[in-house]
Each structure stands twice: as C-alpha cells, then as structure tokens.
Structure 1
Amino acid sequence: MSIFDDAFDQLIGNEGGYSNHPQDPGGETMWGITQRVALAWGYTGPMQDLPRETAKHIAKTLYWDPLHCD
C-alpha cells in the first residue's frame, strides 16, 4: 500500500460517503470530491454513485501529485 492509499483511507474516514448539506458551499460531495470537480473530470452520473476508485484517481491526480506528496 502506498502513502497515498493510506492518506486517502484517512480522508475517507472524515469525508467518505455522500453529503449535500445546505450550508456547505461545496454542494454535493462524495468521497471528498465535490460535484463541480467530478463534472470537470468528466463524471456525469449522480454524485451518490461516484465510484470510490474514480474519486481516488481524481484526488491523486488533482491534489496529491501536483504537490509531490510521495
């Protein structure tokens, strides 16, 4: 397991699952990925159905890799 895998699992412990709280400016969120980000990535399905592996790939590509976290 990589450092990213561990970090993502910890993130999911805090951000996992679907959320659409009216006071959250991020709007619909699944696995820590907002709908805006998912749509920009090309995801077109309901946010509740965003696959965990898709969210993980988005998080690594957009957030982890640019910061050279490994």
Structure 2
Amino acid sequence: MKEFLREQNGEKKAEDWRVTCVKFAPYAPQCNPVEAIWLQLKTLLRRAYRFGKTFKIVKRLFEMFSVCVWV
C-alpha cells in the first residue's frame, strides 16, 4: 500500500500527500471504542452459535444484545 501511495503521489513529500496509510492495531478500543462492543457481540455469537440456525436469528441476537450494551 505504501509503495502504491508513493507511486500515486510522485515526488511530493509524505507530509504533502493527500491520502496516507496508517496502520492501526488489530484491537485498539482506545482508538475506536466500538471495537469493545463488537468483541462482546462476537463472543456472544460464539457462545450461542447453536441457536443461530439462520441469519434472521443471528441478526435478532445482535439486536437484543446491542440494546443491552447501549442501555
């Protein structure tokens, strides 16, 4: 990605690029707080996988759990 950006931006200095690439940690809730919620939702799904026979049921589990998290 960085090589592609260098090619696209030509001779400009990195500070003058219009688009840059920033790598974030795979799990960084301090940068993106919603990641903690997604982690809880994925954990719920792993624990309740046997109930998720259809996508509709999985979606409903997400909806029910997200209401509990936000309250």
TM-score normalised per structure 2: 0.27
Q: Which has the higher contact order (CA 8 A, sep 6+)?
A: 1
Bigger fraction of residues in helix: 2
Please identify the structure whose Cα radius of gyration is greater.
Answer: 2
Bigger fraction of residues in strand: 1
